[in-house]
Structure 1
Amino acid sequence: MLLAGGAAFAASPAEANTITVTVTDLRSHDGVVRACMTRVEAIFPRCIRDPKSHRTVVPASSRVVIRFDNVEPGEYAIALLHDENDNGKADRTLGMMPREGYGFSRDAKVRMGPPEWRDSVFHHARDPQVMTIRMRYFI
């Protein structure tokens, strides 16, 4: 059972105000997956700067499911990092290209830097929400 947002994900039906994310295409089971969900466009994807963000860390495995509980209705974006060496940061090669996996809500693509807010943002109502985010790797 993986813990996320202070609650366990189980086979029971999703509760209102939950967002459940299935992460696909991890290249290894090394390290952890760091997830951060924010409502603040100005700091995305570095949502750790948002004290009201929803954040969690789960072990990388063959099935990664992240559940954010008690999510207020509104506009959100999610950023994921496959921190393969579990050092707490996004490692880069040549100072700017990511060495580890990343993913964003709405499967937003990375071009010359992280995706724009408008490409990642989604609306959350009070109903349970389920989504899939694919992990991508530059190298």
Structure 2
Amino acid sequence: MTTRVPLCLVSAVAFACLSAPQIHSQPPVPHPVVLLPATGWGTTEAAGAFGRGLDAASTSAAPSLAGGAQSASSSSCTLRIHVDGFRNTRGNLGTILFSSSPGWPEDKSKAFRHGPAPIDKATRTAVAEWPNLLPGDYGVAVIHDENSNAKLDRNLIGIPKEGFGFANNPHVALTAPAFQQALVHVSCPVTETTIHLQYK
């Protein structure tokens, strides 16, 4: 039986408390801690940076999607996330992937992957690469983590002070888009998507 529980989006890419179905899934596969220097992503991995020689994420464990029907050895795909619209080059890009809706979009303890990637100072763009994914649908959200504290900072009334974005670039008003609105279908060998940052 599915019940509904409050999900308060306090520190990431939404602006209000939503409710989301409580779905029981398998425990996440543990991932190694691989960090970019001077970031606040202390319990996560660093996303690879395409074309910059950073391949830290290549050591990440193969995912186990909800339901666990496929084995880790069946396929290994890469999701390449292009992000533009940075207003400056301070900090880094934070990306977060979900394989199911519980925790979407900010609960890192329920995220499938999350971590930083560098910003290209010449172009004010960033590219994060997540390898070792099984084919399937993933919800994707990003932030411009200007102070490298691994969260979306807000002002006193809850308005984001940093940039954010979602896969498929849905319109964002007062709440985060639904999980289904920000899905990317990942197929092998490489799937690419582009996200445009928004600032309030």
Shorter chain as denominator, the TM-score bin is 0.7 to 0.9
Question: Residue 120 of structure 1 is aligned with which of 178, 182, 194?
Answer: 182
SS in 1 for 2:133: coil
SS in 1 for 2:164: strand
**TM score, norm. by length of structure 1:** 0.83
In structure 1, how many angstroms separate the alpha carbons of the residues matched to 2:170 and 2:53? 25
The one-character-per-residue Cα deviations of 1:74-133 (angstroms, maximum 9, x if unpaired) are 221111010111122211113321110001111122111211112111222334101111
Structure 1 portions without partners, runs of 5+: 8-15
CA distance change for structure 1 residues 119 and 59 in 2, over 3 Å: closer, same or farther? same
Q: Is the 8 A contact 1:4 1:68 kept in 2?
A: no
Over the matched positions of the two proteins, sequence identity in percent amounts to 26
1:34 aligns with 2:99: no
In structure 2, how many angstroms separate the alpha carbons of the residues matched to 1:25 and 1:134? 6
Larger strand proportion of the pair: 1
1:3 corresponding residue in structure 2:
54
Aligned length: 130
**TM score, norm. by length of structure 2:** 0.59
Query: Which shows bigger deviation, 26-35 or 122-131?
Result: 122-131
2:118 corresponding residue in structure 1:
59
1:105 aligns with 2:173: no
Question: Residue 18 of structure 1 is aligned with which of 55, 78, 84?
Answer: 78
2:194 corresponding residue in structure 1:
132
2:19 corresponding residue in structure 1:
none
Q: Is the 8 A contact 1:4 1:66 kept in 2?
A: no
